[in-house]
């Protein structure tokens, strides 16, 4: 099979293109797509553990650790030790991080709209269904 027809190549290049576009849009807020992912997890709940965040974002815990370090330096998150179980670290969004929710969500909506504008609603639904099927590893 020719490289440009390989599913891995197509998924990788598509993801790279969307990632670069999203990165460019988020620079105004000094946020990366990975940091957006963490914030999105935290906007939904009071706190999450690094393990929960890494599982949700399908990233290694060691990768999340570096992302959290950079976010804490930017005062977007805090890491707090659970008083009932000192082994557990809770990641919590700060006020500064919470204030980014509305403008960043607007960017996410705009990027999704722009990337998918050449597709019908039915095609978008089908694409998402197929991507979820691949992501769930049904072929393994």
Give the residue ranges of DSSP H helices in the chain.
7-26, 33-43, 50-57, 61-73, 95-99, 101-116, 121-135
Helix (H, G, I), strand (E, B) or coil at 6: coil
CATH class of 3-135: mainly alpha
Cβ within 8 Å of residue 81, ≥6 positions away: 88, 89, 90
Length of the chain: 140
- pLDDT tens, per residue, the chain with 140 residues: 999 999 999 999 999 999 999 999 999 999 999 999 999 999 999 899 999 999 999 999 889 999 999 999 999 999 999 888 888 999 999 999 999 999 999 999 999 999 999 999 999 999 999 999 999 987 77
Domain boundaries defined on the chain? 3-135
Residue with tokens 């005062």: 75
Q: Are 42 and 77 in contact (CB under 8 A)?
A: yes
pTM score: 0.90
């Amino acid at each position: 099979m020719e490289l440009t027809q390989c599913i891995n190549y197509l998924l990788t290049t598509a993801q790279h293109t969307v990632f670069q576009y999203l990165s460019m849009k988020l620079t105004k807020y000094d946020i990366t797509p990975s940091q957006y992912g963490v914030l999105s997890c935290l906007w939904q709940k009071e706190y999450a553990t690094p393990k929960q965040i890494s599982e949700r974002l399908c990233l290694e815990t060691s990768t999340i650790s570096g992302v959290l370090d950079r976010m804490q330096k930017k005062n977007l998150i805090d890491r707090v030790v659970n008083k009932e179980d000192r082994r557990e670290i809770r990641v919590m969004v700060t006020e500064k991080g919470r204030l980014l929710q509305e403008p960043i969500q607007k960017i996410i909506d705009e990027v999704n709209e722009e990337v998918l504008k050449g597709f019908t609603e039915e095609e978008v639904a089908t694409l998402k269904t197929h991507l979820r099927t691949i992501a769930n590893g049904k072929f393994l």
